[in-house]
């Protein structure tokens, strides 16, 4: 059973300066009666659900979503509507992904999609994903169990697995190099928010 989770988008960078993709980037029964044991404390269905694995994974998904404060130095604004999923997000197995898109003044954008899986680890899910385009080599950042990435035209996507959560960052910029540099540069931030397995 796949647990669909939350997806937002966000963008964040390094250092104390804003990242403008156009200028900055160049590079979780019978017989005697015996006393009966005391009855266990009653646990309501709601309490059981609240303490169950589904809820735990949902919390992990929510915690993995980058927030507005993560983007404070990025000079981005939230788009009125989420960008249509690109080819790589379309290849991520089932769920009910939701998210937002953030825009730079230059028109470059980043969408984050976070999905949780109850029956398997995100690394197992990621191993089955096959996206269009060319493979982008991204070093596995601390906090991630696995990472894979692709570029298709001027859109590059980095998928990071941690525990039962898969976090995807998709950047579209004016050139493939800028998109690749931005997506790769944001991977450590997204990985740091993944649950530890």
What pLDDT score does 44 carry? 29
Q: State the fold for domain 48-192.
A: Protein Transport Mog1p; Chain A (3.40.1000)
Structural Rg of the chain based on CA atoms: 21
Instruction: Report the alpha-carbon distance of residue 66 to residue 8 in Å, rounded.
Output: 7
Round to whole Å and give the CA distance between 30 and 156. Answer: 69
Residue 55 confidence (pLDDT): 84
**Is the pTM value of this prediction over 0.85?**
no
Query: What residue segments make up the domains of the chain, in order of their start?
Result: 48-192
| Regions of the chain with pLDDT less than 50 | 1-18, 21-50
| pLDDT at residue number 76 | 76
């Amino acid at each position: 059973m796949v647990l669909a989770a939350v997806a937002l988008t966000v963008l964040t960078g390094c250092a104390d300066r804003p990242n403008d993709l156009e200028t900055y980037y160049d590079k979780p029964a019978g017989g005697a009666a015996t006393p009966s044991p005391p009855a266990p404390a009653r646990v309501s269905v709601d309490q059981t659900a609240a303490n169950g694995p589904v809820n735990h994974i949902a919390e992990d998904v929510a915690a993995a979503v980058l927030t507005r404060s993560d983007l404070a130095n990025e000079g981005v604004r939230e788009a009125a509507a989420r960008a249509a999923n690109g080819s790589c997000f379309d290849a991520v197995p089932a769920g009910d992904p939701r998210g937002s898109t953030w825009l730079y003044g230059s028109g470059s954008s980043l969408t984050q999609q976070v999905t949780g899986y109850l029956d398997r680890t995100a690394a197992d899910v990621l191993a089955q994903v096959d996206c269009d385009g060319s493979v982008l080599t991204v070093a596995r950042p601390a906090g991630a169990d696995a990472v894979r990435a692709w570029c298709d035209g001027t859109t590059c996507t980095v998928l990071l697995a941690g525990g039962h959560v898969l976090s995807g960052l998709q950047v579209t910029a004016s050139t493939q190099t800028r998109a690749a540099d931005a997506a790769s540069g944001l991977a450590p931030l997204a990985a740091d928010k993944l649950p530890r397995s």
